[in-house]
């Protein structure tokens, strides 16, 4: 960002955060906010305060609060979602339920159907209600659905509650897209999405270990009750009460609600402008037509279909470890944490690096990682043929699972989110919901087939399918990144 003359009111970025930048509290989030900590010029806020005599709210502090609210809230949503996969071996083993692998796959398929419906609906809802309101609604309803799921015994009620849970959870991502687009400059979107995306993976790691350990001493139903309770606590902290110490007070839809100027919006592609509202943004029909005509939108939709199926591997991991290595369900749940652990590391690093890489560098970096993911799933597929000892094979499987999660997650989380905000502009909520809808639509079809494959043909058939999907994901994601590179070339 070129230096600009500013009317200074308060300490500079270096003066106010030097200790945190050297490793103090909050240092992990400092890189994504470094260029956004600019002093505010003298203006009159929307609250009627005269900032010539009263200091403006600190932009950095409010941005950090917004990130922390989204981070903690989404972690609670992922905790509730993770409970289903961690409890799956015990649910299948429970004779009172009569649930088999195919039934579990159907359960996941209906959850994906709920996510699909949510993505189609919540994108427009996010544009209409704003990110803050939709985010809090999603958190509240997800916790309720999780508790009711745990108290259920009928397959139909399981399906209904999982459908509703994923329907409401789907609102979080477009809601956060609206919040990030409103609070941060476009040049920082990749870093912010990288940090927010780690919430999903960090929560999944912690949830897998915690729920797996609890499963060793508690019945499986209690996992759902406890997850719902944690979700309620997070909602109370983020969205309830009304006292000055509650984060809800500071979670706003945009900086203008706190008396700050909106972030600078810059054109991100050679053929895109920022001269007010474009014609295609004026109506939903025009926006959808604009998206349908875009080759990049079509490519990212197809790529997300394959990559969302790849990410669904985590839902089957506890069952995979139990049935292939004979370990207890709780231990299997903890072993499955390897996948989100790899995801956490790569997404955090990828979010910081994504904005700094050139378009060609993104092709090489993300393409190379997807190739590593393909190699990892191939290793898992041929692991039985290596004739290793049970303990050694388990170790290799966990390591390969870690690499698989590490390799595919940056391409899944970051490019689509950044592209949706930049290309979708004021219709970013609709675009991000549309792209995710394609991904969950593919999962809705895949999950029941996966469960039937496990029951009828065994795990080797399912892993072979994941290998094929990984090849497709590599090809389509690379094609999208190439198209992004071409669109960013001013000479084209």
Q: Tens digit of pLDDT for each residue in 188-221?
A: 666 776 677 677 778 888 989 999 999 999 999 9
* Residue 68: band (very low, low, confident or very high) from pLDDT cuts 50, 70, 90: confident
Tell whether the model's pLDDT for residue 429 goes beyond 80. Answer: no
The per-residue pLDDT for 63 is 74
- SS (HEC) of the chain: CCCCCCCCCCCCHHHHHHHHHCCCCCCCCHHHHHHHCCCCCCCECCCCCECCCCCCCCHHHHHHHHHHHHHHHHHHHHHHHHHHHHHHHHHHHCCCCCCCHHHHHHHHHHHHHHHHHHHHHHHHHHHHHCHHHHHHHHHHHHHHHHHHHHCCCCHHHHHHHHHHHHHHHCCHHHHHHHHHHHHCCHHHHHHHHHHHHHHHHHHHHHHHHHHHHHHCCCCHHHHHHHHHHHHHHHHHHHHCCCCCCCHHHCCCCCHHHHCCCCCCCCCCCCCCCCCCCCHHHCCHHHHHHHHHHCHHHHHHHHHHHHHHHHHCHHHHHHHHHHHHHCCCHHHHHHHCCHHHHHHHHHHHHHHHHHCCCCHHHHHHHHHHHHHHHHHHHHHHHCHHHHCCCHHHHHHHHHHHHHHHHHHHHHHHHHHHHHHHHHHHHHHHHHHHHHHHHHHHHHHHHHHHHHHHHHHHHCHHHHHHHHHHHHHHHHHHHHHHHHHHHHHCCCCC
Tell whether the model's pLDDT for residue 43 goes beyond 70. Answer: no
The per-residue pLDDT for 264 is 57
Tell whether the model's pLDDT for residue 37 goes beyond 70. Answer: no
Mean pLDDT to the nearest integer, 81-106: 92
Mean pLDDT to the nearest integer, 54-71: 68
CA distances, 66 to each of 308, 349, 438 (Å): 27, 21, 28
* Residue 75: band (very low, low, confident or very high) from pLDDT cuts 50, 70, 90: confident
The per-residue pLDDT for 46 is 37
Tell whether the model's pLDDT for residue 380 goes beyond 50. Answer: yes
The per-residue pLDDT for 256 is 53
Decide which of 185 and 117 is more confident: 117
Instruction: For the full predicted model, state whether its pTM sits above 0.85.
Output: no
- % the chain with pLDDT above 70: 77
Q: Tens digit of pLDDT for each residue in 211-256?
A: 999 999 999 999 999 999 888 887 777 544 433 334 444 455 555 5
Tell whether the model's pLDDT for residue 306 goes beyond 90. Answer: yes
Fold of 59-251+283-487: Growth Hormone; Chain: A; (1.20.1250)
Tell whether the model's pLDDT for residue 272 goes beyond 50. Answer: no
The per-residue pLDDT for 192 is 76
Least confident of 165-169, 432-436, 447-451: 432-436
Mean pLDDT to the nearest integer, 155-184: 85
Q: Provide the residue ranges of all domains of the chain, joining segments of one domain with +.
A: 59-251+283-487
The per-residue pLDDT for 31 is 43
Tell whether the model's pLDDT for residue 305 goes beyond 80. Answer: yes
* Residue 349: band (very low, low, confident or very high) from pLDDT cuts 50, 70, 90: confident
The per-residue pLDDT for 252 is 56
When the pLDDT of each residue in the chain is averaged and rounded to a whole number, the result is: 79
The per-residue pLDDT for 470 is 96
Tell whether the model's pLDDT for residue 280 goes beyond 90. Answer: no
Decide which of 449 and 132 is more confident: 449
* Residue 30: band (very low, low, confident or very high) from pLDDT cuts 50, 70, 90: very low
């Amino acid at each position: 960002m070129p230096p600009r003359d500013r009317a200074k009111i308060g300490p500079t970025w270096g003066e106010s955060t030097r200790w945190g930048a050297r490793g103090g509290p909050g240092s992990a989030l400092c890189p994504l906010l470094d260029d956004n900590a600019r002093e505010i010029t003298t203006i009159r806020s929307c609250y009627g305060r005269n900032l010539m005599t009263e200091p403006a709210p600190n932009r950095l502090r409010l941005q950090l609060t917004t990130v922390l609210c989204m981070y903690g809230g989404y972690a609670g949503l992922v905790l509730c979602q993770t409970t289903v996969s961690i409890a799956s071996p015990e649910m299948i083993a429970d004779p009172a339920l009569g649930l088999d692998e195919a039934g579990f796959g159907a359960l996941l398929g209906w959850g994906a159907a709920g996510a699909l419906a949510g993505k189609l609906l919540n994108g427009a809802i996010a544009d209409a209600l704003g990110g803050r309101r939709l985010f809090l609604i999603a958190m509240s309803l997800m916790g309720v659905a999780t508790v009711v799921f745990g108290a259920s015994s009928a397959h139909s009620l399981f399906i209904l509650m999982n459908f509703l849970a994923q329907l409401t959870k789907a609102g979080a991502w477009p809601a956060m897209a609206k919040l990030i687009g409103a609070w941060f400059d476009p040049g920082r979107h990749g870093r912010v999405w990288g940090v927010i995306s780690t919430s999903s993976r960090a929560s999944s790691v912690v949830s897998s270990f915690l729920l797996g350990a609890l499963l060793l001493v508690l019945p499986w139903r209690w996992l759902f009750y406890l997850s719902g309770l944690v979700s309620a606590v997070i909602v109370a902290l983020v969205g309830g009460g009304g006292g000055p110490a509650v984060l809800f007070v500071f979670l706003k839809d945009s900086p203008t609600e706190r008396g700050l100027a909106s972030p600078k919006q810059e054109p991100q592609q050679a053929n895109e402008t920022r001269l007010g509202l474009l014609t295609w943004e004026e109506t939903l029909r025009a926006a959808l037509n604009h998206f349908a005509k875009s080759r990049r939108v079509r490519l990212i939709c197809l790529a997300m279909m394959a990559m969302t199926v790849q990410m669904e591997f985590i839902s089957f991991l506890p069952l995979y470890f139990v049935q292939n290595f004979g370990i207890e369900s709780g231990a299997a749940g903890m072993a499955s944490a390897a996948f989100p652990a790899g995801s956490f590391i790569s997404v955090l690093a990828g979010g910081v690096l994504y904005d700094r890489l050139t378009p060609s560098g993104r092709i090489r970096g993300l393409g190379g990682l997807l190739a590593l993911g393909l190699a990892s799933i191939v290793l898992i597929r041929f692991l039985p043929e290596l004739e290793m000892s049970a303990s050694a094979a388990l170790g290799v499987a966990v390591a390969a699972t870690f690499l698989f999660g590490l390799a595919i997650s940056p391409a899944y989380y970051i490019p689509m989110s950044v592209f949706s905000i930049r290309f979708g502009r004021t219709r970013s909520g609709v675009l991000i919901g549309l792209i995710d809808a394609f991904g969950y639509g593919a999962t809705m079809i895949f999950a029941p087939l996966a469960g039937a494959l496990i029951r009828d043909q065994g795990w080797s058939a399912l892993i072979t399918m994941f290998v094929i999907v990984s090849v497709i994901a590599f090809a389509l994601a690379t094609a999208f990144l190439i198209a992004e590179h071409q669109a960013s070339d001013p000479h084209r």
